[in-house]
Structures are given as structure tokens and as C-alpha cells.
């Protein structure tokens, strides 16, 4: 038996293949880098973004070169990763009006996967097809590419590019509102990666004081002793709604402002923490009584992060007072971890669009009818808390939603999207009046407290409020949290019930205080944590996150950690 024999024809064929593959691989590498340049021009909107994209491109190529050493293979894998990032970011924006940032990758949970597959069932097959095509292309390029790059040079290039990216990202940080702009996908993702890692290592997910001067002694042993019969409570999420007369020159129908007034005739303003889109910001505010801004860079994923960790909430306290707690949610429960978040705060019965029997957004009357059905079925088992989401005012406004429901409607002469928005608000107001009438008629022996709020202004709201501002000036005002762009409304109504007190229901109030308004109006005693927060409300006249330059909120967060109402941060 001979051990030194070689297969000469095979070796010769391989040598010829490599010889022919050299020029082919060279042009492949050039074409792949050219495609990357085209991708930069098509997706990046600023010189800064282009520079960051180039650094990311260099980092990825150098990283793969250190592993495989072949330039064409490294460029192919790098390009496919960036194209996948752009496509996924565009997909997310089309569905949620948000692009992908690094937190999306850092917090990949079962809910995220479930939501993607529920909204795009063919995604798994596209992933498998793309993976198979990538493997085939890599095999071909691996055989053709005769060039080799030293690992030392590759690692040096990676290190230089990474240091430059870190320096740029920390000196020019992103703003949370950039997540709601469909551009600069790669540079935004890379910069948020640096910011996220830096913020997580320096302070963690949540801002909290290092120490507190006091303790919520006995906060975990709260016992509810109401002094009167408790009403059923409906907390009503009025999607994208605010009094549009805050924008000069907008025409509205007669009686338009009545919808924003409470039982006592007062119109109250709610200052929220999101501009033109993030309903879940205000959802977090009104269920926990806490601030999204405490999460810093992680704010856009607040409900996913808070699930399982932030146990303090309005529903939890109501549960301790004997309430059955329900949520009627008009979308998939896996969306941004909504089901997991709400059940953590004390929602015992969570109903999403599948449970409610709908495949699309409905007029508000649909959700009101489901709420009435639930009350009729469950009211004998004790007082009820219903968190009811509505979506009639949700974007887009370039098409008419259920026009047959408003045959009387005539456009007012505003821009088409503004007229459609006001038409939908008119639908909401009419449906809400019918809800009050139905509650009074069907349940004459039951009492109801209804607290409703606008979760944020519509996307076009900021542009209407001050038309003299250019786009750049408007962005600066929004980034500075100008309250004109963050102000919606809240209102208190009652059926067969007189609110116990509205002392905390100030004419202007930050959204995290809404649980206190609800509890006091219902006549429900506050636990120690909400009592502490009520003291903040009084000291700071309705300001929350900015109360005492932020120190009060950090102290409250620490107190809640100490008593186990916030865990794991």
C-alpha cells in the first residue's frame, strides 16, 4: 500500500480552477463593495450616517476576514448581513412605524418571534431560503477565491474601525425619536449598539438613586379597607387623540370640544412622554404610574423590559381591593410584550385581537360593545377594572375608515388627513356617548367610574401646532420635550356614581399620575408607594420626571426596588 500517491488529474483541475478564479474573485470583491456603496447612498441620510456605515462595513469585513481570510467570502457575508438589517428594519417600520435598534437584538424573546410570525407567516420560509442561498454562494466563492488576508491585518483593521465607531457614537448620540424615522438603518443600529452597551454598563436599565433617605416600611403588607361601595372602573385609551384646536387655523365641527371635558365641565390636559406614535409609552405610564424616560436608551422597548420586572401597578393595587382586572387589547398580545407586561402589573384577564374575534382594527363601538358584554357577564363576581384600548384614530389617515358610519359627514376644508382624523374623532365621541347611555340603561344598579386619556398626538400634530417652524427647528423643539407636542387630554366621567375626590386631577398633569387620579376618584385607599407619589404630585404641581430635577423619580424607583415592586434591575 502506498501512502504518498497523489491524484494528479484532480490536482491539476484544482490548480486551473484557482488560476481562473483569481480574476473572477477580484471582480466579485469589487462588485460587492460597489453594492455596499450603493446601499449607503440609498439608505443613509447624512454625512455622519455614511461615515458610520463605512466603519460598520469595514468592521464586518475585517471580522470575517479574520475568520475565513477570503475577501470575497467576507464581503458577501457582510453585505448580506447589512441587507438583512435594512430589510428587517423596513419591515418593522411598515408594521410599527419604528426601525430596528440594538435593543431589539439584545432582547429577543418568545413574544417577538411570535409577533413576527403572526404578522408575516411566510417569514420562516424566506429565512430558510436565504440561508440555503447564502451557503451555496459561500461554497462557490470559497473555491474560487485564491486571495488570502492575514489575520493580524484583519484584526488591526477591525480594532481601528471599532474604536472610531465608539468615538463617533458617544460624541454624537442618537435621539429616541430617530427610531421613528425610516432612514439610516445601519448607522442608527450601530450607534445604538454603542450607546446601549455604554448605558447598560454605567447605570443599568433603569435610573435609580444609589440610596434613599427613607424606606416604604410595610409597603408589601398593604391591606385595602375602602370606606364606600367600590365602582366598576373603565380606563379608556383614546388612541392618538388630543384637542386639535390647539393648532391654529384648524376647522372643527360644532361641539367638538365637548368630548374633552370631564363630568364637572373642566377640560384637563395630560402631558405624555411620546410624540406621534408610541402608544406603549403612555400604556406604561398609566398602568405603573412610572416614567418611560427613566429607561433612557431602552425606552422604546420599555414594555418588553418591564415585563416580569416592574410589578408595581394600578391593576395590582385594584386586585388587592377585590377587583377583577381585564384588558381589551386591539392587537396581538405579543406586540412589544404587551401581554407579559400587563399581566405583570396585575391584569388577570388579558384579551387580545384573537380573543376578541377580530383580524383588523375596528371602530371604537366594537370595543365598547365587548366591554359591555364583559360587564354583563362578570359584574356579579365583584367590582371590575377594564382597561379598554381603542384604535379608530390610529394612522393611516389617507383612507376613510368605515365611512358608512358617518354618512352625515362633510369635509371641513382642512388638509385631507386632518379632516379624516377629525371625522374619526367625531365617530369616537359619538360611540363614547352611546357607551355612557348603555351603561346607565343596562346597569341601573351598578356604579361606574370612567377615566379616559389621549395617548399621544397624531404624527402630523407637531407640524400643525407651529407652522412657521422649519423641519430642523421642529425636530429641535420635539427633542427638547416641548410640552406643546406632548400634551393630549384626560377626562373623568361617572355613571350612577359621584367621584370621591378629584383633588389630584389638576388642569395639567403628567401621565404617570393618572393612577392616583383614578384611585382617589374611585374612593380607593392608596398604598404607601402611591402615597409617596401623591406627595410628589403636590410638591411639584403635576410634574413627574422633571420633579426636583429628576431626583424625586430616581428616589421613588429605588424605594420600589427596596420593597420588591421593581426587581431584577
* Consecutive 10-residue averages of pLDDT for the chain (569 residues): 43 45 68 89 90 94 88 86 87 73 72 60 62 65 67 91 93 77 86 89 88 61 80 97 94 96 97 89 97 90 93 95 96 87 96 90 94 96 96 90 90 95 96 97 97 94 81 70 91 97 97 98 95 96 95 94 91
Q: Is 564 exposed, middle or buried (0-12, 13-18, 19+ CB in 10 A)?
A: exposed
- The secondary structure of 197-221 as a DSSP string is HHHHHHH-SS---S--S---TTGGG
Q: Which of 407, 366, 405 is nearest to 388 (CA)?
A: 366
Q: What is the pTM of this model?
A: 0.82
Please tell me the predicted confidence (pLDDT) of residue 291.
97
Half-sphere exposure of 337 (CA within 13 A, CB side): 21
SS3 345: coil
Q: In 10 A of CB 313, how many CB atoms? A: 25
**CA angle, 99 then 244 then 358, to 5°:** 55
pLDDT at 318: 96
513 contacts 542 by C-beta, under 8 angstroms: yes
Asked whether 183 and 44 are in contact (CB, 8 A), the reply is yes
What are the residues facing 267 on neighbouring strands?
Answer: 261
Closest CA to 387 of 308, 306, 453: 453
Q: Look at the alpha carbons of 108, 165, 200, 45 in this order and tell me if their dihedral is positive or negative.
A: negative
On the question of a cis peptide bond just before residue 396, with omega within 30 degrees of 0, the verdict is: yes
Angle between helices 110-119 and 123-144 (to 10 degrees): 100
Three cell numbers written together for 360: 383588523
Query: What pLDDT score does 87 carry?
Result: 85
DSSP bridge partners of 233: 385, 449
State the Rg of the chain over Cα.
28
From 307, 288, 362, select the one nearest 330 (Cα to Cα): 362
Residue the block writes with cell 425610516 = 182
Q: What does 9-33 look like in DSSP terms, one character per residue?
A: HHHHHHHHHHHHHHHHHHHHHHHHH
* C-alpha span between 119 and 115 (Å, rounded): 6
Whole-number percent of the chain with pLDDT over 90: 57
Report the SS3 class of residue 325.
Answer: strand
Residue 321 C-alpha cell reads as 381591593
d(CA 298, CA 283): 16
Percent of the chain with pLDDT over 70: 84
Strands 490-495 and 448-454: antiparallel
Are 512 and 486 spatial neighbours (Cβ–Cβ below 8 Å)? no
List the alpha helices (DSSP H) in 443-513: 461-465, 471-479
Query: Does residue 107 contact residue 205 with C-beta atoms inside 8 Å?
Result: no
Number of residues assigned to the chain = 569
Cα–Cα–Cα angle for 505, 508, 511, rounded to 5 degrees = 80
Cell numbers at residue 196, please?
446601549
Closest CA to 298 of 306, 288, 290: 306
Q: How many Cβ atoms from other residues are within 10 Å of residue 30's Cβ?
A: 13
Q: Grid cell 434591575 — which residue?
A: 569
Longest Cα separation, the chain: 103
Query: What pLDDT, in 10s, does the model give residues 489-499?
Result: 999 999 999 99
* Domains in the chain: ranges and CATH: 10-203 (no CATH), 233-526 (3.40.720.10)
Amino acid at each position: 500500500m502506498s501512502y504518498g500517491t497523489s491524484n494528479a488529474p484532480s490536482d491539476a483541475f484544482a490548480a486551473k480552477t484557482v488560476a481562473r478564479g483569481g480574476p473572477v474573485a477580484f471582480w466579485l470583491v469589487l462588485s460587492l463593495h460597489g453594492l455596499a456603496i450603493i446601499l449607503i447612498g440609498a439608505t443613509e441620510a447624512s454625512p455622519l450616517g455614511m461615515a458610520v456605515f463605512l466603519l460598520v462595513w469595514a468592521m464586518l469585513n475585517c471580522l470575517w476576514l479574520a475568520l475565513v481570510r477570503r475577501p470575497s467570502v467576507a464581503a458577501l457575508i457582510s453585505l448580506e448581513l447589512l441587507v438583512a438589517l435594512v430589510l428587517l428594519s423596513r419591515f418593522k417600520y411598515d408594521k410599527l412605524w419604528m426601525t430596528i435598534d440594538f435593543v431589539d437584538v439584545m432582547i429577543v424573546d418568545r413574544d417577538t418571534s411570535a409577533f413576527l410570525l403572526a404578522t408575516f407567516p411566510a417569514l420562516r420560509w424566506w429565512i430558510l431560503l436565504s440561508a440555503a442561498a447564502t451557503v451555496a454562494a459561500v461554497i462557490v466563492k470559497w473555491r474560487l477565491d485564491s486571495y488570502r488576508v492575514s489575520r493580524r491585518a484583519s484584526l488591526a483593521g477591525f480594532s481601528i474601525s471599532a474604536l472610531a465607531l465608539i468615538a463617533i457614537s458617544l460624541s454624537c448620540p442618537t435621539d429616541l425619536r430617530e427610531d421613528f424615522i425610516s432612514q439610516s438603518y445601519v448607522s442608527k443600529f450601530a450607534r445604538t449598539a454603542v450607546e446601549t452597551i455604554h448605558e447598560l454598563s454605567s447605570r443599568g436599565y433603569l435610573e435609580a438613586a444609589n440610596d434613599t433617605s427613607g424606606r416604604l416600611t410595610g409597603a408589601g403588607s398593604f391591606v385595602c379597607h375602602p370606606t364606600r361601595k367600590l365602582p366598576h372602573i373603565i380606563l379608556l385609551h383614546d388612541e392618538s387623540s388630543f384637542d386639535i384646536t390647539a393648532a391654529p387655523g384648524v376647522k372643527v365641527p360644532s361641539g367638538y370640544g365637548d368630548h374633552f371635558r370631564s363630568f364637572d365641565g373642566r377640560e384637563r390636559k395630560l402631558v405624555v412622554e411620546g410624540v406621534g406614535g408610541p402608544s406603549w409609552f403612555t400604556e406604561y405610564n398609566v398602568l405603573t404610574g412610572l416614567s418611560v424616560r427613566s429607561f433612557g436608551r431602552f425606552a422604546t422597548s420599555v414594555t418588553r423590559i418591564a415585563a416580569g420586572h416592574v410589578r408595581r401597578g394600578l391593576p395590582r393595587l385594584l386586585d388587592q381591593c377585590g377587583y377583577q382586572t381585564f384588558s381589551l387589547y386591539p392587537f396581538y398580545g405579543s406586540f412589544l410584550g404587551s401581554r407579559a407586561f400587563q399581566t405583570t402589573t396585575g391584569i388577570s384577564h388579558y384579551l387580545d385581537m384573537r380573543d376578541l374575534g377580530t383580524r383588523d382594527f375596528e371602530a371604537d363601538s366594537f370595543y365598547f360593545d365587548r366591554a359591555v358584554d364583559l360587564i354583563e357577564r362578570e359584574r356579579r363576581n365583584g367590582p371590575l377594572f377594564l382597561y379598554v384600548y381603542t384604535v379608530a384614530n390610529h394612522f393611516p389617515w389617507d383612507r376613510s375608515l368605515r365611512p358608512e358610519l358617518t354618512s352625515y359627514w362633510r369635509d371641513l376644508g382642512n388638509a385631507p388627513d386632518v379632516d379624516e382624523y377629525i371625522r374619526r374623532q367625531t365617530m369616537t365621541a359619538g360611540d363614547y356617548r352611546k357607551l355612557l347611555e348603555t351603561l346607565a340603561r343596562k346597569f341601573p344598579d351598578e356604579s361606574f367610574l370612567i377615566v379616559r386619556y389621549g395617548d399621544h398626538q397624531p404624527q402630523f400634530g407637531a407640524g400643525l401646532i407651529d407652522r412657521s417652524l422649519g423641519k430642523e427647528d421642529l425636530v429641535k423643539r420635539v427633542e427638547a420635550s416641548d410640552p406643546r407636542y406632548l400634551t393630549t387630554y384626560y377626562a373623568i366621567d361617572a355613571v350612577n356614581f359621584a367621584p370621591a375626590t378629584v383633588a389630584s386631577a389638576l388642569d395639567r398633569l403628567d401621565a404617570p399620575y393618572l393612577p392616583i387620579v383614578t384611585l382617589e376618584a374611585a374612593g380607593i385607599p392608596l398604598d404607601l408607594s402611591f402615597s409617596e407619589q401623591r406627595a410628589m404630585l403636590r410638591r411639584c404641581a403635576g410634574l413627574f420626571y422633571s420633579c426636583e430635577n429628576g431626583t424625586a423619580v430616581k428616589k421613588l424607583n429605588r424605594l420600589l426596588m427596596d420593597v420588591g415592586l421593581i426587581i431584577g434591575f
